[in-house]
Amino acid sequence: MTFADQYTPKPITDLFTHDTDIDRRQCRRTVPMRVMCLGLGRTGTASLRDALRELGFNDTYHMMSASVENPPDCLMWRDALAAKYDGVGTFGREQWDQLLGHCQSLCDWPAIAFAKELIEAYPDAKILLTTRDVDSWHASCLKTVDWRANDPELKMVAKWDWGAGLYQPMLEKFWTSFFKGDFKKYGKQIYQEHYAEIRKLVPPENLLEYRMGQGWEPLCEFLEVPVPDTKFPHTNDTDGFVDRCRARNRAQMCNAAVRTLVVGGSVAAAVLASAMTVHRFWGHKLLG
């Protein structure tokens, strides 16, 4: 049994979040995979996602696609992680097309953990590599994704909320596996190894190393698309990341509270109905 087989529909009581509920196992590739950004998260991938969308690369997959947009994706990501890191099951082109078939591009984690597999699955896609000073990258991750992967509040909410229950185990598995169980200790080493691997795997003519702040021109030249007359997007600052995560926790707590009230009310109503049935039964017996 795969993790994807554990799919359950979104509860109707999830009133405080607006996630979609798509079972990707029912999906197939509908657009070609044209470009893959395999730079690590926190190198400007959220801004790059917005930029690629503006350039017409719809859709562009990002961790937010699974964390806050369509949480059931997390089940397929867990299958991919189990196949790569635990040797459990298989995850190949068919599964990638199910999970990513609606996307012409991708970036951010957890996709970057599967750089080799994705390059093999989509050999015609161009490869972007967003870069950043490793020390500032490490410091940013400690304040954001490493914090989120170890967030005790998220772990608590995951026990009760549908979306959090799908996302948190996937995030924890990815973060632990990719960074050898200790981001603070191994993060910079893994960063260097990851970038060295991409440079080794991808021919120079199919690779663009890109740093935020370079603007539209090098990106558009590499992708062979016109340069927009708009400002390059800038999103997902460190402080905003933490605030959004905490707001998400609160919304999911409200979902869980509503479900508890509804389920508790249904149980109470069922118990009351049963008691009234028994009362009427024995009342008739005594009167008879």
Summary mean pLDDT of the chain: 92
What would the pLDDT profile of 172-227 be if each residue is shown by its tens digit?
999 999 999 999 999 999 999 999 999 999 999 999 999 999 999 999 999 999 99
Band of pLDDT at residue 171, cut at 50, 70 and 90: very high
Residue 265, pLDDT score: 58
Helix and strand numbers (H, E) in the chain are 12, 5
Question: What average pLDDT does range 164-171 have in this prediction?
Answer: 98
The more confidently predicted of residues 277 and 182 is 182
Q: Provide the sign of the torsion angle of the four alpha carbons 147, 149, 150, 153, taken in this order.
A: positive
Domain count for the chain: 1
- The verdict on residue 150 lying in a domain is yes
- The verdict on residue 189 lying in a domain is yes
Q: Is the pTM of this model over 0.85?
A: yes
What would the pLDDT profile of 112-162 be if each residue is shown by its tens digit?
999 999 999 999 999 999 999 999 999 999 999 999 999 999 999 999 999
Residue 249, pLDDT score: 97
pLDDT surpasses 70 at 77: yes
Band of pLDDT at residue 266, cut at 50, 70 and 90: low
Rounded CA gap, 77 and 98, in Å? 11
- The DSSP string of 206-241 is GEEEEETTS-HHHHHHHHT-PPPSSPPP----HHHH
Rounded CA gap, 51 and 228, in Å? 10
- The verdict on residue 147 lying in a domain is yes
Question: What average pLDDT does range 161-172 have in this prediction?
Answer: 98
Q: Domain containing 136 — which CATH number?
A: 3.40.50.300
- The verdict on residue 102 lying in a domain is yes
Question: What average pLDDT does range 96-120 have in this prediction?
Answer: 98
Contact 255, 17 (CB under 8 A): yes
- The verdict on residue 124 lying in a domain is yes
Residue 140, pLDDT score: 96
Band of pLDDT at residue 237, cut at 50, 70 and 90: confident
- The verdict on residue 194 lying in a domain is yes
Band of pLDDT at residue 235, cut at 50, 70 and 90: confident
- The verdict on residue 288 lying in a domain is no
Band of pLDDT at residue 267, cut at 50, 70 and 90: very low
| Residue 264, domain extent | 3-283
Burial class (CB in 10 A: 0-12, 13-18, 19+), 38: buried
- The verdict on residue 137 lying in a domain is yes
Burial class (CB in 10 A: 0-12, 13-18, 19+), 217: exposed
Range of 101-105, 232-236, 238-242 with top mean pLDDT: 101-105
